[in-house]
Amino acid sequence: MYQDKTLVCKECGAEFVFTAGEQEFYAERGFQNEPQRCKSCRDARKNATRPQKELFSTVCAKCGKEAKVPFQPSNDRPVYCSECYAAMKAQQ
């Protein structure tokens, strides 16, 4: 019933495909208008209004590499880099 359409982004002018699946989704939700922006421009527009998360630098308690975390580390608990944390979670 639906066929892929090639649309032009009003933000950057790039062509993008409005797939048959996306069209069906829009129809199910009752959306009347086709998208006017490509995925990357839509994402950039969404993220522009979100506040940036502050990252704190610390040293991994296991391997000693620098780690950036979204919370203020305290000295009473160890902090791990993402690789060491994932390895520890996999062992459990």
29-81 per-position pLDDT tens digit:
999 999 999 999 999 998 888 887 889 999 999 999 999 998 999 888 999 99
Show Cβ contacts of residue 71 under 8 Å, excluding neighbours closer than 6 positions. Answer: 56
Whole-prediction pTM value? 0.53
Token duo for residue 65:
């590499």
Q: Is the pLDDT confidence value at 91 over 90?
A: no
Strand ranges (E), the chain: 5-8, 15-18, 56-59, 66-69
Q: Residue 92: what pLDDT?
A: 81
Residue 42 · residue 35 · CB < 8 Å? yes
